Structure 1
Amino acid sequence: MMTLNQTLSQNDDTEPHSDDAQGACADWREAQHSLFQLANMCLILSFLTPNKFRYYPLCLRIFLGTGYLFFSLWSGLIVCMPDVLIWSAGFFFVNLLHLCYIGYSMLPSRINKDLDDLYKKLFEPLRVSKPEYDCLVKVGYVHGLERFDEYAKEGLTPCGLKTSILLKGRLKVQFEELLVHYIEGNQFVDSPEYDFTNRTLTSERSECNSPERILLSDKRDTYQVTISAVEESLLLTWSLDKLSQFLQSNPALSAIFQLLIGKDISDKLYQIQEMLLSDPECPLARSNQNYQLRTQTDSHSSQSSLLNL
């Protein structure tokens, strides 16, 4: 290394200095070390990475960091330039920190995986685009329920405030301490209550054009069942007010959402009917009649929540 420095100094001393060659390279030196060439190749790759590429920020920081690492090795081990070494090492560590941040933010979390599964199983078959689905998810929030936690309490929890989809886990629905059915992953938690509230509000709007009067006449009903977690569960929940505003601005997505609600109610009724047919003498037979009647929206309407699906 010392020999190389002495050689460079001698070359500097022996360089010709003439007025004719001023501003031009009269004597070219040999190419620098391979580390220097690799460093510049990495910089070129970082500049050539297309910004439309999905992982553009990650690739940019990887190539820049690798390039400055090679510059640090070249300046510290080959040419022994402390100022170049300090600057190159500084750029390397800054890129390393930024790379760690980007990598951490891009790691697929368990929640994102569950949301992707929900999209693929429920919304993608109905041709809902991923950006539309992401906007729908952003309107709500994801939260968990521990085992035995209650999502809704019979006769106490008001309807019309929220609606949810179960992302992961299992819930059970009870009416007067009798098991009605279970709720599995990617199913709506309270589709009958949502349908009841939505139709009630629609009926009120058709009878009253004033938003203030609608708000004053809105009397919240309560859940007629108890919904609790059988195991640790994860839910995607929407505030009904925010969800309604979002769906009003997206008619196509609103129609798909209502379709999913209707299908979910039909599946729940089918599950209940199978349970009753398998054991007609069970205590649920009498209680189930009250449960179905309670989830109907209007006795004078030809489109009730459950019977006409």
Structure 2
Amino acid sequence: MEPPDFEAMNLTLEEEVFYPLCEEWRDGTEGSVFHLGSIFLVLGFMGGSGFYGLLYLFTFLTLGFFCSTIWAWSDSCTTDTFLWNFALFGVCVGQVLHVSYRLRSVTFDKDFQELYSCMFQKLGVSLGHFGKIVACCDGDIHTIEKDHCFAMEGKTPIDKLSVLLSGRINVTVNGEFLHYIYPYQFLDSPEWDSLRPSEEGVFQVTLRAESRCRFVAWRRKKLYLLFAKHRYIAKIFALVVRNDIAEKLYSLNDKAFDSQGHRYDLRLPSYCHMSRPELEKTDGLLQVPVQAGRTA
């Protein structure tokens, strides 16, 4: 059998393919606008999270794509590049306006802004979640005059959770001084942690203002409803409340001395695991009662 005659069939086995080549490299660079736009894009992609991080990100992306649009406009052969950069520039402008509007809608009064900076910002709580926390207390700031009591021993019910914003609170039990409460510490964290959501109780300590004090308070029922809707907020409060209790416990460590004037460290295993007869021998040790979760 003879092979087919490709020439007679007007077919070719190979076709020559030509690719455009760069005829001449440019002597100079693309220009300062192109490089400035690239720098803005690099800075933009270094943005963080949260509202301020998004605002930083899209601001620099807007500047970067704006410079790229100007650069593409200067070259009549880059119509598609110009259109893409202009479209991305418009998208970034819209994002900047959107984030700015949301950021403005979650701004707070000075007191709540300082509360956020001191207690919640370092834990990574977003302004959106903090806004829900502020809404739970209706944004109210309460005041205690000097020598007035926030809570009376055996009388005041435990129905809220409060944070001191200014002033100083003196905590006593049976007329004996326990410790002070300073700004941005909880007033009733041990009482809050000592009760379950369905339980009720009264303060076993007296909290008296040594100066004019201001505080923010969350009602117990409203706060538990917030926890049920937002488990993340519940975890944040559990963390800050128990950390506050630990700080109060360690502050009581300075009150424990033996008869020779040596200080006991309540955190040491050698002290915490002493047997009852051994504890009774330390008759010179200053004993601080355990009242409603306030441990010494």
TM-score of the aligned structures, taking structure 2 as reference length: 0.53
Equivalents in 2 of 1:169, 1:120: separation in Å? 18
CA RMSD of aligned residues (A): 3.4
Superposed CA offset, 1:134-176 (max 9, x none): 21011113211111111100011112x1110011111111111
Equivalents in 2 of 1:175, 1:279: separation in Å? 24
CA shift, 1:267, in A, is 0.2
Residues 279 and 137 (structure 1), Cα distance of their counterparts in 2 relative to 1, 3 Å cut: farther
**Alpha-carbon contact 2:162-2:186 (below 8 Å) kept:** yes
- How many pairs were matched up? 178
- For structure 1, the 5+ residue unaligned runs are 1-49, 56-107, 202-213, 297-305
- Partner of residue 290, structure 2: 290
What SS does structure 1 have at the residue aligned with 2:290? helix
- Partner of residue 119, structure 1: 116
In structure 2, which of residues 113, 130, 133 is the aligned counterpart of residue 136 of structure 1?
133
CA shift, 1:285, in A, is 3.1
**Alpha-carbon contact 1:174-1:227 (below 8 Å) kept:** yes
- Partner of residue 155, structure 1: 154
Q: Which has the higher helix share?
A: 1
Map residues 1-309 of structure 1 onto 2, 5 A cutoff: 52=98, 112-140=109-137, 141-159=140-158, 161-198=159-196, 201=197, 218=199, 220-277=200-257, 285-286=286-287, 288-291=288-291, 294-295=292-293
What SS does structure 1 have at the residue aligned with 2:147? coil
Equivalents in 2 of 1:142, 1:170: separation in Å? 16
Equivalents in 2 of 1:233, 1:224: separation in Å? 21
What SS does structure 2 have at the residue aligned with 1:268? helix
**Alpha-carbon contact 1:146-1:233 (below 8 Å) kept:** yes
Equivalents in 2 of 1:274, 1:181: separation in Å? 10
Superposed CA offset, 1:186-238 (max 9, x none): 0000000000113xx3xxxxxxxxxxxx6xxx4x3210100111111111101
- Partner of residue 269, structure 2: none
**Alpha-carbon contact 2:255-2:286 (below 8 Å) kept:** no
- For structure 2, the 5+ residue unaligned runs are 1-95, 102-106, 264-281
- Partner of residue 38, structure 2: none
Equivalents in 2 of 1:225, 1:256: separation in Å? 26
TM-score of the aligned structures, taking structure 1 as reference length: 0.51
Residues 128 and 229 (structure 1), Cα distance of their counterparts in 2 relative to 1, 3 Å cut: same
**Alpha-carbon contact 1:162-1:239 (below 8 Å) kept:** yes
Equivalents in 2 of 1:279, 1:225: separation in Å? 28
What SS does structure 2 have at the residue aligned with 1:187? coil
**Alpha-carbon contact 1:170-1:183 (below 8 Å) kept:** yes
| % same residue | 29
What SS does structure 2 have at the residue aligned with 1:257? helix
Equivalents in 1 of 2:285, 2:109: separation in Å? 38
Residues 268 and 235 (structure 1), Cα distance of their counterparts in 2 relative to 1, 3 Å cut: same
Superposed CA offset, 1:56-108 (max 9, x none): xxxxxxxxxxxxxxxxxxxxxxxxxxxxxxxxxxxxxxxxxxxxxxxxxxxx9
Residues 155 and 136 (structure 1), Cα distance of their counterparts in 2 relative to 1, 3 Å cut: same
Ranked by relative contact order (alpha carbons within 8 Å, sequence separation 6 or more), the top structure is 1
Residues 116 and 279 (structure 1), Cα distance of their counterparts in 2 relative to 1, 3 Å cut: farther
Residues 274 and 241 (structure 1), Cα distance of their counterparts in 2 relative to 1, 3 Å cut: same
Letter in 2 for 1:157: T
Equivalents in 1 of 2:230, 2:128: separation in Å? 13
**Alpha-carbon contact 1:148-1:230 (below 8 Å) kept:** yes
